[in-house]
């Protein structure tokens, strides 16, 4: 019998339109050609050709692909999810670059920006000529961003920004930062060109995860911005949280890409690798692992596609996005760990993608809302009681 891929076993293609498949296939072949051959080296070196990648992604239409106008492609949410999946099958760090650009930085400007801000930034960002980052988390305020101390004070016709942000993806390669800060009027968003005096980005080194991604600390010392730098369209935490919802939706799909790559690698390895005179794929214990992992992968994909259809209808809720982020980040990490085991000693090297995906997924498990925070969101939805406020 011919082996089938896990998604083929679930007839996932049957649930996709021709256009969705076409978009998925383009991203897959782009990643296979432009990322897969190099990414282990980038990961080992802890650096990526971010500008070059952004340019290539921009030409495809990946950056802000689900937004409309200003040079953005305007695809469906499902197509965006499928693209995130294929990107993350390459590497979670590469997917992070695209998520932060499109779903955090561009989305914030698209949803809450002035016409002037949109015209200035979105066309360049969608083309990959300008890179964006998104500063919400602070060293002392992660799961509870409401406690942030970064602040912007009105001074004549200007704003003056002070404080710092931590764990900011794309920080050192960004041309523009969307920064959330306390003001007299509550939490507000600011569009900050990174060349503004007083803006400093310090790259975070010694990471063991998302090494093919730039992560930075941002420090603001009397950063003087014009009145027009504030995002006029939103006040309070609702702003950043609605951006995070966009990115989390992509992550519900994305993590499955990393898991799929692990599982496919492990199956092909186990078919080749012989111990006790036969392929380890022929042992019942191995097959049970494959069956369990394929089930979780397929169930995760059905959930992600369901969420995608709800999002395309415009009726998805934040709690539903939590279901997807929580389940798919968790199950993908479990799959990566089990696949690592199946490769034995070879599983710990960068010759195979698995330990890279596994380490990456530790970050994905934490960012965009930790496992615990999404659990509490779901708990609140089920009981009506907030355990975290």
Partner 1 sequence: MKIAVCVKQVPDTWAEKKLRSDDSTLDREAADGVMNELDEYAVEEALQIGEAHGAEITIVTMGPDRAGETIRKALSMGADAGIHLVDDGLHGSDALATSYALATILEGRGFDLIIFGSESTDARMSVVPAMVAERMGLAQLTFAQKVEFEGTQVTIDRVTDSGYDTVTASLPAVLSVVEKINEPRYPSFKGIMAAKKKPVETLSVADAGLDMARVGASASWSAVVDFAARPPKAAGTVVTDEGNGGVKIADFLVGQKFI
Ligand X SMILES: Cc1cc2nc3c(=O)[nH]c(=O)nc-3n(C[C@H](O)[C@H](O)[C@H](O)COP(=O)(O)OP(=O)(O)OC[C@H]3O[C@@H](n4cnc5c(N)ncnc54)[C@H](O)[C@@H]3O)c2cc1C
Residues within the interface to partner 1 (CB under 8 A): 18-19, 22-23, 26, 29-30, 59-62, 65, 73-75, 79
DSSP code at position 141: B
Q: Is 225 helix (H, G, I), strand (E, B) or coil?
A: strand
Q: Are the C-beta atoms of residues 199 and 223 closer than 8 Å to each other?
A: yes
Q: How far is the CB of 237 from ligand X (least distance, A)?
A: 12
**Residue 115 binds which entry of partner 1, ligand X, none, CB below 5-8 Å type-dependent:** none
Query: At a CB cut-off of 8 Å and minimum separation 6, what does 54 contact?
Result: 63, 97, 101, 128, 129, 131
Q: Is 161 helix (H, G, I), strand (E, B) or coil?
A: strand
**Residue 79 binds which entry of partner 1, ligand X, none, CB below 5-8 Å type-dependent:** partner 1
**Residue 92 binds which entry of partner 1, ligand X, none, CB below 5-8 Å type-dependent:** none
**Residue 62 binds which entry of partner 1, ligand X, none, CB below 5-8 Å type-dependent:** partner 1
CB nearer partner 1, residue 75 or residue 320: 75
Query: At a CB cut-off of 8 Å and minimum separation 6, what does 348 contact?
Result: 340, 355
What would the DSSP string read from start to end of 244-268? HHHHHHHHHHHHHHHHHHHHHHHHH
**Measured between alpha carbons, how far is 253 from 240 in angstroms, rounded to an integer?**
21
CB nearer ligand X, residue 103 or residue 265: 103
Q: How far is the CB of 84 from partner 1 (least distance, A)?
A: 13
Q: How far is the CB of 372 from ligand X (least distance, A)?
A: 3
Q: Which position has the token pair 């990322």?
A: 35
CB nearer partner 1, residue 80 or residue 269: 80
CB nearer partner 1, residue 32 or residue 292: 32
**Measured between alpha carbons, how far is 266 from 58 in angstroms, rounded to an integer?**
32
Q: How far is the CB of 265 from partner 1 (least distance, A)?
A: 17
Q: How far is the CB of 66 from partner 1 (least distance, A)?
A: 10
Is 313 assigned a catalytic role? no
Query: At a CB cut-off of 8 Å and minimum separation 6, what does 7 contact?
Result: 13, 260, 297, 298, 301
Catalytic residue among 264, 274, 368, 372: 368
Residue closest to ligand X when measured from CB atoms: 142
**Residue 22 binds which entry of ligand X, partner 1, none, CB below 5-8 Å type-dependent:** partner 1
Binding region for ligand X (CB under 6 A): 100, 134-137, 142-143, 167-169, 210, 215, 363, 366-367, 370, 372-373, 388
CB nearer partner 1, residue 73 or residue 305: 73
Closest CA to 189 of 138, 145, 233: 233
> Cα angle at 233 between 229 and 238, to 5 degrees?
110
Active site (catalytic) residues: 368
């Amino acid at each position: 019998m011919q082996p089938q891929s896990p998604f083929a076993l679930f007839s996932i293609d049957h649930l996709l339109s021709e256009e969705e498949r076409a978009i998925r296939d383009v991203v897959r072949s782009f990643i296979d050609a432009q990322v897969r051959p190099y990414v282990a080296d980038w990961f080992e070196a802890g650096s990526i050709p971010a500008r070059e990648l952004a340019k290539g992604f921009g030409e495809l239409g990946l950056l802000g692909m689900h937004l409309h106008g200003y040079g953005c492609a305007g695809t469906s949410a499902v197509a965006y999810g499928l693209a995130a999946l294929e990107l993350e099958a390459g590497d979670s760090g590469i997917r992070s670059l695209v998520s932060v650009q499109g779903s955090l930085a561009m989305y914030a400007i698209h949803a809450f920006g002035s016409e002037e801000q949109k015209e200035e930034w979105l066309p360049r960002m969608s083309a990959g000529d300008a890179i964006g980052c998104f500063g919400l988390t602070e060293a002392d305020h992660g799961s509870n961003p409401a406690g942030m101390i970064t602040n912007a004070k009105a001074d004549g016709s200007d704003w003056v920004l002070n404080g710092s942000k931590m764990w900011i993806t794309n920080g050192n390669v960004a041309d523009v930062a969307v920064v959330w800060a306390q003001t007299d009027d509550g939490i507000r968003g600011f569009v900050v060109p990174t060349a503004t005096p007083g803006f400093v980005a310090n790259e975070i080194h010694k990471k063991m995860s998302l090494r093919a991604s730039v992560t930075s600390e941002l420090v603001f010392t009397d950063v003087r911005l014009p009145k027009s730098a504030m995002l006029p369209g939103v006040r309070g935490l609702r702003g950043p949280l609605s951006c995070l919802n966009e990115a989390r939706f992509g992550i519900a799909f994305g993590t499955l890409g990393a898991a799929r790559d692990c599982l496919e690698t492990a199956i092909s390895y186990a078919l080749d690798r012989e111990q006790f005179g036969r392929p380890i794929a022929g042992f019942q214990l191995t097959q049970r692992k494959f069956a369990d992992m394929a089930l979780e992968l397929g169930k995760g994909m059905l959930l992600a596609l369901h969420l995608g259809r709800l999002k395309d209808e415009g009726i998805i809720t934040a709690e539903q996005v939590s279901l997807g982020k929580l389940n798919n980040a968790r199950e993908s990490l479990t799959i990566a760990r089990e696949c690592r085991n199946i490769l034995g000693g070879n599983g710990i090297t960068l010759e195979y993608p698995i330990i890279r995906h596994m380490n990456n997924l530790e970050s994905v498990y934490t960012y965009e809302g930790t496992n615990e925070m999404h659990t509490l969101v779901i708990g609140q939805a089920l009981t009506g009681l907030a355990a975290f406020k």
